Amino acid sequence: MENNELKNQIYQIIKEKGKITFAEFMDMALYYPELGYYQKENPFGEQGSFYTSVNASSSFGRSIASGFAEVFQSTKIDYNICEMGAGSGLLAKDILDFYEKELPDLYEKINYTIIEKSNYLISRQKEILKNHLKNNKVNWTDFNAFRDFNGIFFSNELVDAFPVHRIINIGGEYKELFVIEHNGRFEFYPDTFSTEKLQEYINNMKIRLTDKQIADINLHATDWIEELGEKINKGLVFTIDYGFDAKQLFSNFRMDGTVTCYFKHTQNNDFFERIGFQDITAFVDFSALEFYGKKSKLDTVCFIPQWLFLIQSGILQEMEEAQTDLQRTSIKSLIIPEGGFGTNFHVLIQSKNIAIHEDFIYKKSSFDTFDMLSRMF
């Protein structure tokens, strides 16, 4: 199972440089051409390493599609949807299937763009979306070419896969955890920061770590959200992922940070094992996305739990129409706040050059909804 070719490539780079950041290691493990995890494997669903909301129920995509339809109607933006990091393509299929069947007039207007850098995944996406390809509804681009966008931009479990830097407080002094080779094995090694951006991030997010506490900093995400804001002329950005705001994410009880691995649906912290064959991921700092997004004029509309987002998007109607107990159970896993996908998953909605009215669908109070859920379940 060990990918000796990729492991040897990383060894060679460390030999030349002396050490690499964990962000560099994570980037190679996930995205190295033809050898990285996302470049050659199907990591989604029962055959992969992890199970997403998309795999849990098609109602996830159908509800998002319903909510987006209301957004188009209330904001009068162009009928463009862009999904970055579409994975297997199943979510795009669920969304487009919903429009084709339930809202054919909207389906005729929709243009669906996918931003994906894995050739392996693009081939899988084209296969699963072949019927919509015949209708000229889907196209692919890369992030560099993406610009002047008017519409809805969204991602689902994308930012958690961006490479992160790891830092640690050692006796009151903050160090970065680099990856070195020692006695034939990869190990962490604390040293001075690789970039001044880490200290800037710490200051901006007001991070205060206790002694020996580790934190994971996603500089890739800050660059991404700033650049994304510049590429959007008018529209809304929906970031769906697991994570919290900075205050909660960097709390003292998270002594070991949030980086973790998934192999065959089993979570582990063996970062330097099964390189190229397991997912590596970290919780998202949504406060950072808000802070750095504002630099490119992305205004925060709201930050809400995924379960509330899905309810406001119409998932309860999906439950009412479910034909089997299994379907209902799958939908419940997406919206029960105390478990399933409802615990750590959140949605950040940002806008640019759009006046958001007080009755905007995703700004409704959550209290009545939570009480209703408590009575239902």
Q: Could you report the per-residue pLDDT of 89-121, keeping only the tens digit for each?
A: 999 999 999 999 999 999 999 999 999 988 888
Whole-angstrom distance, CA of residue 193 vs CA of residue 120: 34
Selection from 30-39, 70-79, 226-235, 333-342 with the highest mean pLDDT:
226-235
Q: To 5 degrees, how large is the angle CA 104–CA 108–CA 111?
A: 125
Question: What count of other Cβ atoms lies within 10 Å of the Cβ of residue 79?
Answer: 18
Provide the token pair at 341.
Answer: 């996908």
Band of pLDDT at residue 232, cut at 50, 70 and 90: very high
Strand ranges in 142-193 using DSSP code E only, listed in sequence order: 149-156, 165-170, 173-182, 185-191
Q: Which of 38-47, 86-95, 301-310 has the lowest mean pLDDT?
A: 38-47
Q: Is the pLDDT of residue 50 over 70?
A: no
Whole-angstrom distance, CA of residue 359 vs CA of residue 288: 27
Provide the token pair at 82.
Answer: 């862009």
Q: What is the mean pLDDT of residues 246-253?
A: 96
- CA-based nearest residue to 149, from 84, 196, 221: 84
In percent, how much of the chain has pLDDT > 90? 71
- Cβ-in-10-Å burial (0-12, 13-18, 19+) of 226 comes to middle
- CA-based nearest residue to 355, from 230, 226, 231, 234: 234
Q: What is the mean pLDDT of residues 303-307?
A: 91
Q: Is the pLDDT of residue 53 over 90?
A: no
Q: What is the mean pLDDT of residues 322-329?
A: 68
Provide the token pair at 167.
Answer: 């830092």
Q: Is the pLDDT of residue 54 over 90?
A: no
Dihedral sign, Cα of residue 176, residue 177, residue 178, residue 181: positive
pTM of the model: 0.90
Per the CB < 8 A criterion, the answer to whether 289 and 296 are in contact is no
- Cβ-in-10-Å burial (0-12, 13-18, 19+) of 352 comes to buried
Whole-angstrom distance, CA of residue 363 vs CA of residue 304: 9
pLDDT, the chain, mean: 88
Which own/partner pairs from 365-372 qualify as long-range (CB within 8 Å, at least 24 positions apart)? Answer: 366/304, 366/305, 366/308, 369/308, 369/311, 369/312, 370/308, 370/337
pLDDT value at residue 282:
97
Q: Is the pLDDT of residue 69 over 90?
A: yes
In tens, the pLDDT along 274-300 reads 999 999 999 999 999 999 999 999 999
Band of pLDDT at residue 212, cut at 50, 70 and 90: very high
Per the CB < 8 A criterion, the answer to whether 89 and 115 are in contact is no
In tens, the pLDDT along 156-190 reads 999 999 999 999 999 999 999 999 999 989 999 99
Give the CA radius of gyration of the chain.
Answer: 21
Q: What is the mean pLDDT of residues 9-17?
A: 96
The CATH number of 45-162+220-376, from 3.40.50.720, 3.30.300.180, 3.40.640.10, 3.40.50.12710, is 3.40.50.12710
Higher pLDDT, 315 or 135: 135
pLDDT value at residue 243:
95
pLDDT value at residue 49:
47
Band of pLDDT at residue 42, cut at 50, 70 and 90: low
